Amino acid sequence: GRSYSVSSAFDFNSSLFPLSSSGPGYTSLGTPGTPNFDSGAQSLERNKSLTYLNGLSLVVGLIIGSGIFSSPASVNSNAGSPGAALIVWIVSGMLAWTGAASYAELGGAIPLNGGAQVYLSKIFGQWAGFLFTWCTVVVLKPGSAAIIAIIFGEYLVRAVIGADAVDASPWINKGVALLGLIAVTALNCVSTKLGTRSADVFMFFKFAALLAITIAGIIVAITGAAYNKEALSTAWKTTNWFEGTSMSSSQWAVALYAGLWAYDGWDNTNFVVGEMKNPSRDLPKVIHTALPVVIVAYILANLSYFFVLPPETINTSNTVAVAFGSIVLGPIGSLLLALAVSGSCFGGLNATTFTAGRLVYSAGKEGYLPEIFGTVGFSDSSQRMRLPRRGQKARRFAGFIADEQGFFYTPIYAMALNAALTTIYIIIGDFTTLTTFYGVASYLFYFAPVVGLIVLRVKEPELERPYKCWLITPIIFCCVSLFLLSRAIFAKPFQALIVFAFIAVGFPLFWWRVGSRGRSGRKSEQGEGWWKFWKRWGRR
Ligand code: ARG
């Protein structure tokens, strides 16, 4: 059958190559690629170095973030009962799994970096890929960064200043969230290496926090009476697990969105398929290990919450892990967990800022955005950091933070745009609003490529598919996504409207920025000429 070759017009990451840090593999590992249509000579895809374990740690590291420490309130209060909440966690996990399995088939059939962007362009035409890029730049990336920043702020304020401050005014949290965003943006502007190094450090926190919760939960479950009995939830033993289960499908949808947030990021291995050594074997393997592992970890963490916390606390607290810590270990416990979780969120914020910078940068390079966003700050060599000649310590320090290109050889304008948009979302939104908002937007764009998978099976049955998922998988994913999207329109019409408005704005923008260059997904004669003209003269 036919197959899409890797050396196609879709050459991902090449324009980003100068930004890579010198550390082998990490940059390509942690950074979803984005499209670059002028196939450059230096392609990360030629450097096929990612193994099964790399893929696994990438996707697990991206999925586990803020959600498992903050979504339970939204899941529980909307599902109505602990039993229903667990069902929501299972269903949203399965949904993520079916989505990821569908993406694995797409990734095998179209083994290029870029994920949804490239599938949409290949299957529906470049306009679809453009809309995805547009919405990712204006809604998905800054929206998700804002959610993580807000959780970071809430946890840090709770740890350092105390619960009263959190409840007194949301602006204290938001202020800290903004500070976190500024810190992360500055870090990633100063040097790429600094950004990726801190990602490694903060990875530790999320595992520490999740592990601590699960182990504490197991101990409590076994010993039962080891802690303050009054404080322990008795719901586990006495009340009906399904008492109070919500009957409203809109509430279930909101609960599912909260759960899906915690599982979000399952598509991220698809961004680097082109760099995998053996994508057709390893991509499905990564998906079918990562998702079950995360689902089990989340169920265990939730059971721990139920064992330890009274339902009212779980229902209302955005910082359920702090409440958990304080019951299990007192003030020290809450402080430790709050620090661990804010560290985990800071790491997530860092990772997402890092990739957002690259995404905006290559959208600028593509001409999707004004050219300035596709440039690297202070690329004039005189501005680069000079490694100090004297002083062992200073030298080692410089080598630790500076990439070989030196300080500020980073997409600072792209970073600034992303930070500005994220700031807006932090100011106007709160956790629950933003997760629903993000859910609607992201599931629209997860839905489309999976529909595309079905289209591709019908239109191109001969296409080589090293991994073929059961047809029922994409069908289930599409049906549940459709339910979610339609419910969101009823549950949160205003947010849904905003999402659709953003997408609608993308159409004239596509016409303006790309024009006839790629309406059919190919470069037309006329479009090419127009594009060349525009490239040469239009932007001077
Ligand atoms: N699941 C992550 C969390 O719980 C959020 C992932 C955000 N999405 C992304 N593509 N980085 O925080």
pLDDT of residue 425: 93
Measured distance CA(431)–CA(66) in Å, rounded: 11
pLDDT for position 530: 36
The rounded distance, in Å, linking the Cα atoms of 397 and 193 is 12
pLDDT at position 236 over 60:
no
ipTM score above 0.95? yes
DSSP 3-state of 276:
strand
**pLDDT value, residue 99:** 94
The highest-confidence range among 4-8, 17-21, 285-289, 381-385, by mean pLDDT, is: 285-289
Q: Is the pLDDT of residue 523 over 50?
A: no
- Provide the pLDDT for residue 362: 75
pLDDT at 82: 86
For a substitution probing ligand 1, which of 31, 144, 272 has the most ligand atoms within 8 Å of its CB? 144
Short-list 299, 304, 302, 315, CA closest to 244: 315
pLDDT of residue 296: 93
Segment holding 314, helix H or strand E = helix 311-316
Answer yes or no: are the C-beta atoms of 254 and 431 closer than 8 Å: no
**Rounded Cα distance, 112 and 126, in Å:** 15
Q: What is the pLDDT of residue 264?
A: 93
Is the pLDDT at 19 greater than 70? The verdict is: no
CB atoms within 10 A of CB 4: 15
Give the closest residue (by CA) to ligand 1 atom 9.
Answer: 265
* Ligand 1 and 144: CB distance under 6 A: yes
Ligand 1 atom closest to 68 (CA): 4
Which of 71, 137, 264 for mutating ligand 1's site (highest number of atoms within 8 Å of CB)? 264
What is the rounded distance in angstroms from the CA atom of residue 10 to the CA atom of residue 34?
9
Ligand 1 pocket test: pick from 62, 71, 137, 425 the residue with the most ligand atoms within 8 Å of its Cβ. Answer: 62
For residues 489 and 199, which has the higher predicted lDDT (pLDDT)?
Answer: 489
pLDDT at site 375: 77
| Ligand 1 atom closest to 147 (CA) | 12
In degrees, rounded to 5, the angle at the alpha carbon of residue 244 between the alpha carbons of residues 238 and 249 is: 145
Confidence of residue 532 (pLDDT cuts 50, 70, 90): very low
The rounded distance, in Å, linking the Cα atoms of 81 and 86 is 9
Q: Provide the pLDDT for residue 405.
A: 55
The reported pTM is 0.80
Closest C-alpha residue for ligand 1 atom 10:
265
Specify the ligand 1 atom closest to the Cα of 67: 4
Q: Name the residue among 191, 268, 367 with its Cα closest to residue 33.
A: 268
- pLDDT at 528 (0 to 100): 38
Q: Sorting pLDDT into bands at 50, 70 and 90, what band is 224?
A: low
Helix extents (H) in 39-169: 52-63, 67-79, 82-109, 116-124, 126-135, 141-160, 163-168
Q: Whose C-alpha lies nearest to ligand 1, atom 8?
A: 265
Residue 148 CA, closest ligand 1 atom number: 12
CA distance 535 to 371: 10
- Ligand 1, residues 58, 66, 71, 354: which to mutate, most atoms within 8 A of Cβ? 66
Rounded CA separation 14/22 (Å): 15
Mean per-residue pLDDT of the chain = 76
> What pairs with residue 50 in β-bridges?
276
265 lines ligand 1 (CB under 6 A): yes
Percent of the chain with pLDDT over 90: 18
Whether the predicted pLDDT of 410 surpasses 80 = no
